Amino acid sequence: MKLRSCLVLLLAAAALVLAALAAYVLWPYRAFEREVFIDFPRGTDSWAMAQRLERAGVVRSRWQFLLVRALRLGRQLQAGEYRFAKAASPLEVFDRIARGDVFYYELAVPEGRNIFEIAASVERLGLMPAREFLKVAREPALIRDLAPEAPSLEGYLFPETYHVTRRQSAAAICRMMTGRFRQVWKELGAAAGVHAAVTLASLVEKEARVPEERPLIASVFHNRLRIGMKLDCDPTVAYAAILDGSYRGTIYKSDLENPSPYNTYRHAGLPPGPIANPGAAALRAVLDPADTGSLYFVLRSDGSGRHEFSDNLATHHAAVARYRSSHADSKAGPKGASQRVPARKKPGRGR
């Protein structure tokens, strides 16, 4: 009887200890008011992780985390930045770090953004200074095999929303974006030269305000290139000013006279490279443009964002006059390439 009683007591004590240990590692804890971000550099050991988790209020005691570590010796802990927003047990915290469930930032790159705008987005996310991203984006190394004449990665940083971590370098982010471009280009099955197509698609992307007009705008550009007519594309003028550091938010007469090879008012043919990063629809429009004889376009006066397309200069001048009469108080005129016809510019020069 004594032996049975001792055994019962021992089992009860063991059960209590196990229950206490279970509660010790399974009970959720949160001692922080706002979400907490903890970045564990590569090589951080379990003790240092436990200390930081305790100081941040993610676990009640470092010993809880170390106990779980002892119980799960076979699992490796992953470096990276982690976000803690709600109460979690030491076991849950450990499992997240062991899985490498790191926090990802969403880097949204809309169609038509240029490398300077992407660099600014990267900096706003707190990933790195814009200049660090631009240093990589201005070098064409990541795309040289596909487009050896590309002066930079402009045009090849495919517009999409990317999940990136704080630990990813500028080169890693650019590699991810150019990798996505390669995938899309392959899916398009294009036989055309990649650099010329991407360059032209970037102009279409910047000009088009209504998605379904991309093939029509591409047709105008193709028609002009075929007969050796200058493209007179305003976004190229703006881009030339951006490269010079002189862009003032609108295009002035001095910008139109910029000798930059990107200024398609001064130079016939395509600019040296893309002026933005086009999406799949713009690339598709350039590869398969609408079949038209149009050489000009200008914004309609109804505010729809659509354009009037013309085959000859007389029809185009009439469309320009309609636009101007409906925007008599506007000094800047319609925005966009070759469709823009401000008072600073002679009417015949617009597309």
345 pLDDT band, cuts 50/70/90, is very low
At 217 the pLDDT is 97
**Range of the structural domain that residue 87 is part of:** 24-99
**Domain assignment of residue 55, yes or no:** yes
| Final residue in a domain of this structure, among 160, 188, 216 | 188
- Using DSSP, state whether 315 is helix, strand or coil: helix
- Residue 265: φ, ψ to 5°: -85, -20
Q: Higher pLDDT residue, 10 or 342?
A: 10
SS3 106: strand
**Residue from 159, 116, 194, 175 nearest 280 by CA:** 159
Taking CB atoms within 8 Å and a gap of at least 24, the contacts of 301-306 are: 301/325, 301/326, 301/327, 304/210, 305/209, 305/210, 306/209, 306/210, 306/213
77: in domain:
yes
Domain count, the chain: 2
Percent of residues in the chain assigned helix, strand, coil, to nearest 5 = 45, 10, 45
Model confidence at 332, pLDDT cuts 50, 70, 90, reads very low
User: Considering only CA atoms, which of 193, 347, 204, 216 is closest in space to residue 292?
Assistant: 216
Q: Let me know whether 109 and 94 are in one domain.
A: no
Report the alpha-carbon distance of residue 177 to residue 142 in Å, rounded. 10
Q: Which of 131, 162, 188 is the last residue of a domain?
A: 188
- Is residue 74, in this structure, part of any structural domain at all? yes
Can you tell me the mean pLDDT for 212-239?
Answer: 97
Lowest-pLDDT range of 10-14, 74-78, 188-192: 10-14
In this prediction, residue 166 carries a pLDDT of: 87
- Look at residue 82 and tell me if it is in a domain: yes
Residue 263 located in a structural domain: no
Considering the domain architecture, whether residues 110 and 180 belong to the same structural domain is answered as: yes
pLDDT for the residue 148: 95
Residue 199 and residue 274 in contact, taking contact as beta carbons nearer than 8 Å? yes
Which tokens sit at 209? 């305000």
Q: How confident is the model at residue 23 (pLDDT cuts 50, 70, 90)?
A: low
- Max alpha carbon distance in the chain (Å)? 114
Q: Is residue 66 part of a domain?
A: yes
Confidence of residue 331 (pLDDT cuts 50, 70, 90): very low
Q: Whole-prediction pTM value?
A: 0.82
CA atoms within 13 A on the CB side of 323: 30
The residue among 78, 99, 120 that closes a domain is 99
Share of the chain above pLDDT 70, in %: 85
Q: Is residue 137 within 8 Å of 154, Cβ to Cβ?
A: yes
Considering the domain architecture, whether residues 128 and 94 belong to the same structural domain is answered as no
Average pLDDT, the chain: 88
2: number of Cβ within 10 Å: 6
**Mean pLDDT confidence for 6-32:** 61
Contact in structure between 109 and 277 (CB atoms under 8 Å): yes
How far apart are alpha carbons 71 and 92 in whole angstroms?
13
* DSSP sequence for 24-48: HHHS-B---SS-EEEEE-TT--HHH
Q: How confident is the model at residue 333, as a pLDDT?
A: 43
268: alpha, beta or left, given left = phi > 0 and alpha = psi -120 to 50? beta
pLDDT tens column, 45-75: 999 999 999 999 999 999 999 999 998 878 8
pLDDT in tens, 240-295: 999 999 999 899 999 999 999 999 999 999 999 999 999 999 999 999 999 999 99
Least confident segment among 173-182, 252-261, 299-308, 333-342: 333-342
| CATH number, domain with residue 33 | 3.30.1490.480
Do 112 and 159 sit in the same domain of this protein? yes
Under 8 Å between Cβ of 241 and 227: no
Residues 91 and 32 in one domain: yes
- Picking from 157, 290, 274, the residue whose alpha carbon sits closest to that of residue 205 is 274
162-185 pLDDT tens trace: 999 988 999 999 999 999 999 999
- Look at residue 268 and tell me if it is in a domain: no
In a domain, 303, yes or no: no
Question: What tokens appear for 77 in the block?
Answer: 């802990």
CA 36 to CA 56: how far, in whole Å? 7
